[in-house]
Structure formats: C-alpha cells, structure tokens
Amino acid sequence: MKAILDLGVKLYADGADISQMVALRSRPYISGFTTNPTLMHKAGVHHYRQFGRAVLAAIPDRPVSFEVFSDDFAEMEAQGRAIATWGPCVYVKVPVTNTRGDSSHGVIHRLSHAGVRVNVTAVLTLEQIAEALDALRGGAPSNISVFAGRIADTGRDPVPIMAQAVAMAAEAPGTELIWASPRELLNVFQADAVGCHIITLTTDILNKLDLVGKDLGELSLDTVKMFRRDALAVGLTLSEDEPR
C-alpha cells in the first residue's frame, strides 16, 4: 500500500467551514479545495462574496472551486465571470445541466474560452464527460468532477467508469478529472490506481488518513476497546432492576 505522500492522485479538501479549510491548508498533502452551495448551507454561509474573499485571503496559493447557483444560463455565465475575478487560483464550478436537464455546454464553452478556469460539476455519465470535454477543448485549464460516490450509491461499480473517463480526458490536455463525492478512504487508492488526477475528500474521510496501513490486529483491538468503553459510558447492565 502506498503512503499518502507517494500517491499520484492529488487530494482536495471538500467543505465550506473556513476554520477547517485554513487548518487543512497546513497539511502537505492537501493540494486544493472545493466547495458547493450545499456545503455552504450546512456551514451557515450567507454572504457568498464575503466567504469567497475570506477563503482566498487565507488560502491564496492553491486551487479553490466556487460554484454558480443560477438556473438561468445567461445569469449563470455572469456569475461565473464575476466569481473568476476573485483570485487567480479560482475555478468556477458549473453544473453540467440546469434543473430542467438542459445542457450547460454553451456556458461552459464561453467561460472556458474567455479564460475562466471551469470545473464542470454534477457529472455522472460518460456522455456528460464527452460533452464537457467538447466544451472545454482549447479553453483555459479545467476540471471535470465525476460524482463517483453517487454512481456507487446506485449499486454500480464506479471504477470502470472512472477508468474510461481518465482515458477520455487524456485526449484533452489541460483538463483534469476529479473523483468527486467519495464514500470511503478506499476510494483514494482506487482513484490513484486508475490514474485520476484529483479526488475530493470531506473532513470525515480526511480524518481517517491516519489509519492508512494500520495493522489490522491493532485495529481490531481498538474496536473491542471502543465497544467496552462505550458500554461503560452508557451504564449498560442486565440486572433485573434496570430501567425499562
């Protein structure tokens, strides 16, 4: 098993808690950051521009993705152009379609060819990957976020799909493929094995990195100790007079 620092895939932290983002910046294996409106909602972010400026002031030297939120393509493009002015490391996340399922190809193409670094998001199918690559070809450096975790949620194995996506992206210099929405730490090594450029990780998964390569016997003992500790903490008993 490879050590984290020996992996070819780059690790991006996924979240919108600015204190956590700043803390993660000090970890040498964190190469960039991603956010989205759902994460900002969970983190209690209400002032988008203020949040973005604060993040970039604290993290000026690594890629950070901020997402547009309009459902209208003209307004979506205007938002993308505005967000791109926040800093030189900004990537603008544009969903692959709007909420009506209409393709964002035109917006993606215009932004990318105007010099905006686009991160095409909410991608789940190979057809969507092909369409995104077509829109981005010849434009600014870009990302395509394939939601491998959501693919897995449907009972499909995302690994073959991601391997094919990597092969497709290889024909588009300047475009990096992101393994998005991972569900477990194992996904990091799967992403690395198929040659994916980037994987996004929530804090919950990042906190498991210390387990990489841990002896399984030790982990078993730690688990037994946890069960015993929690049983004592809750005061479990089988006495006849226990509360019913």
Domain ranges of the chain: 4-213
Q: Are 111 and 81 in contact (CB under 8 A)?
A: yes
CA–CA gap between residue 123 and residue 203 (Å, rounded): 22
Q: Which residues of the chain have pLDDT under 70?
A: 241-244
What is the structure's pLDDT at 4? 87
Q: Are 167 and 187 in contact (CB under 8 A)?
A: no
What is the structure's pLDDT at 1? 75
Tell me 244's DSSP state: -
pTM of the model: 0.93
What is the structure's pLDDT at 241? 63
* Per-residue pLDDT reduced to its tens digit, 72-115: 999 999 999 999 999 999 999 999 999 999 999 999 999 999 99
What is the structure's pLDDT at 3? 86
Question: What CATH superfamily classification does 4-213 receive?
Answer: Aldolase class I (3.20.20.70)
Integer CA distances (angstroms), 206 to 91, 143, 232, in order: 22, 21, 29
